[in-house]
Chain A
């Protein structure tokens, strides 16, 4: 009986140790945001107080604190978009590497393609016109003579006739 109890206790202890070990291992594998995770978000943001310095490479203490803030938000389960929105709300849209598609910002997205399209249409039109333009040899038969030219032609003919009759 005591042997059975001893075995049972031993078994329970082993199970407890195993579960404890697993729990510890699970705890150790808790997804703490790594530097890569933080930098993934930070490179989509700019330092709010420096001039044109992406947050992932900004060397100042303030930037280090903002990166820690990103780490904190990531550890709280925030998505990249939520963090970016939070930064924009706190410090303004200027901290976003990519301007949000709202307000007048949409012009940034619309104007370049429209300008490129308009340019392409213009180039195509010019090229077509250049292709359609006849060579001087081809153009010769198409020449229409103005009334003035008719008059010149007649003058030339008369001169030729006069020259012949003069011989």
Chain B
């Protein structure tokens, strides 16, 4: 045995951090990991699929009216995402208005337009240009588009009278007839 290696007990034992500090560090670390996990889970969760129950949608129209989808229970809700800067949206703008007029008197179908990352003056000009009269408003904080995880505009989500997602149209509708044919079977 080499005596040079021999040291006193006080020198060989490392000084430990106070237990409170260690526990606190672990709690902080676990909390941070939990936060990351929550964020990942949230970002990885998929879009609302056909058949899934759709959470409540809230929108404030350009004329200040607040609409909650929960207040429209029992009706078919057509949620259309659009933007004034979106050229394909123009293809279906008039058709959507025509379909709205077609179902308007039945009282069983509600059309809601949500302007996706658009400016209010441009949105209003767009609505005027295409003579759109059903409720439209901005998708504030992109809450609703994030809920549906839209990939672009235009996209249309049709919620059945049971509150579940019944149909999805990615891209513009080709004709008024196509819109009517999509909605008609959902009316009970």
Contact = CB atoms under 8 A, between A and B. Distances in A.
Interface string A119-143: 0000000000100000010010011
B117 interface: yes
A90 B8 contact: no
Contacts, number: 52
- Please classify how large the interface on chain B is, using the bins under 10, 10 to 19, 20 to 34, 35 or more: 20 to 34
* B interface, over-half SS: helix
Interface of A: 48-49, 61-62, 65-66, 68-69, 72, 88-93, 104, 107, 111, 129, 136, 139, 142-146, 149, 152
Contacts of B7: 139, 143
Nearest to B17: A125
Contacts of A139: 7, 11
Nearest to B9: A144
B27 interface: no
B172 interface: no
Interface string B131-146: 0000000101111001
B117 A143 contact: no
A89 B141 CA distance: 5
Nearest to A111: B32
B131 to A, nearest CB: 22
Given A89-B140, A90-B140, A142-B8, A104 B35 contact: yes
Given A61-B85, A69-B121, A90-B141, 8 more contacts: A62-B85, A65-B119, A91-B142, A93-B141, A111-B32, A142-B8, A143-B7, A149-B6
Per CB-CB distance, the 5 closest pairs between chain A and chain B, nearest first, are: A48-B117, A92-B141, A144-B8, A62-B85, A69-B119
Nearest to A134: B11
A146 B140 contact: no
A69 B121 CA distance: 9
B4 interface: yes
B22 to A, nearest CB: 13
* Of A93, A111, A144, most B-chain CB atoms within 10 Å: A144
B35 A91 contact: no
Contact of A66 (B6, B8, B119, B143): B119
